[in-house]
C-alpha cells in the first residue's frame, strides 16, 4: 500500500477533518528524516576533517619545519609558521581549527 493509499484509508477511518493534520504530520516526519540525514553527513565531514587536522598536527610535532621554505637551504621552522611567528598568516586557519575555536 502506498503512502497516499494509507493516508486515504486513515482519512476514511478517522474522518475528513483530520486529513490536513495527517498530511502535516507526514510532512514533519519526512522533514525530520531529511534533517537527520543532513546532520549525519555533517558529523561524518567533521570527523574526516578532524582526522586530517590531527594528522598535520602529528607531522608538525614530529618535525622541525619546512625544508626549502626560504629557497636558500634553510629550514623554515614551525615557530615561524605558527601563531606568533613571522609567517603566522600561512597557518592561522590551521591553528584556529586545531584549537577548535575562533582566532585570537
Rounded to 5 degrees, φ, ψ at 67 are: -75, 130
Show the CA angle centred on residue 21, arms to residues 19 and 27, nearest 5°: 105
Give the pLDDT score at 3.
Answer: 56
Range of the domain at 51: 1-62
Q: Which three cell numbers stand for residue 57?
A: 598536527
Give the pLDDT score at 104.
Answer: 46
As for how many domains the chain has, the answer is 2
- 8 Å CB contact between 94 and 49: no
Co-location of 36 and 18 in the same domain: yes
Co-location of 51 and 2 in the same domain: yes
Co-location of 51 and 81 in the same domain: no
Co-location of 25 and 57 in the same domain: yes
Whole-structure pTM value: 0.62
- 8 Å CB contact between 29 and 37: no
Residues of the chain with pLDDT under 50: 103-104
Give the pLDDT score at 10.
Answer: 57
Amino acid at each position: 500500500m502506498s503512502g497516499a493509499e494509507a493516508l486515504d484509508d486513515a482519512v476514511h477511518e478517522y474522518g475528513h477533518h483530520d486529513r490536513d493534520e495527517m498530511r502535516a504530520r507526514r510532512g514533519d516526519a519526512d522533514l525530520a528524516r531529511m534533517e537527520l540525514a543532513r546532520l549525519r553527513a555533517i558529523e561524518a565531514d567533521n570527523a574526516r576533517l578532524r582526522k586530517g587536522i590531527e594528522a598535520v598536527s602529528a607531522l608538525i610535532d614530529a618535525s622541525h619545519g619546512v625544508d626549502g621554505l626560504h629557497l636558500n637551504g634553510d629550514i623554515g621552522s614551525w615557530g615561524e609558521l605558527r601563531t606568533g611567528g613571522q609567517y603566522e598568516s600561512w597557518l592561522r586557519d590551521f591553528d584556529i581549527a586545531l584549537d577548535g575555536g575562533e582566532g585570537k
